[in-house]
């Protein structure tokens, strides 16, 4: 069973994503802030993390930087899932270590294929 951490401050979006992942057979935890996401990532040690960029307090870029600096979480693939489709934002995500960049809304099929590539689904 794959383990996925969803980090998104929009609770409805996070729950919809979690529901989709659970249907795919994944064990899912949700964090509604960057700080909570970092804490859960270090405890849950998921196979994959989905990460929104626009969050209050600690944005997704800061979360991604912290995940990649921590020996416990640096090798976990991070899938950015956001509405921002500007080229420089996408490039920054990849430069910081994102494995994949999705523009919301995500299709269940592309999400399934990507999760399957990184975790046992």
Strand segments, DSSP code E, in 65-110 are 78-82, 100-103
Going by C-alpha positions, the residue among 41, 95, 101 that lies closest to residue 72 is 41
Residue 82, domain CATH: 3.40.50.2300
Cβ atoms within 10 Å, residue 62: 16
pLDDT in tens, the chain (121 residues): 899 999 999 999 999 999 999 998 999 999 999 999 999 999 999 999 999 999 999 999 999 999 999 999 999 999 999 999 999 999 999 999 999 999 998 888 888 889 888 886 5
pTM of the model: 0.94
Q: How many domains does the chain have?
A: 1
- Residue 15's domain comprises 3-118
């Amino acid at each position: 069973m794959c383990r996925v951490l969803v980090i998104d401050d929009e609770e409805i979006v996070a729950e919809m994503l979690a529901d989709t992942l659970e249907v795919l057979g994944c064990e899912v935890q949700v964090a509604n802030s960057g700080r909570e996401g970092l804490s859960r990532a270090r405890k849950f040690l998921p196979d994959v993390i989905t990460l929104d960029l626009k969050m209050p307090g600690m944005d997704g870029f800061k979360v991604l930087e912290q995940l990649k600096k921590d020996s416990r979480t640096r090798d976990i693939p991070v899938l950015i899932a956001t509405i921002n489709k500007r080229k420089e934002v996408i490039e920054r995500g990849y430069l910081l270590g994102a494995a994949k960049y999705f523009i919301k809304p995500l299709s269940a099929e592309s999400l399934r294929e990507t999760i399957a590539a990184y975790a046992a689904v």
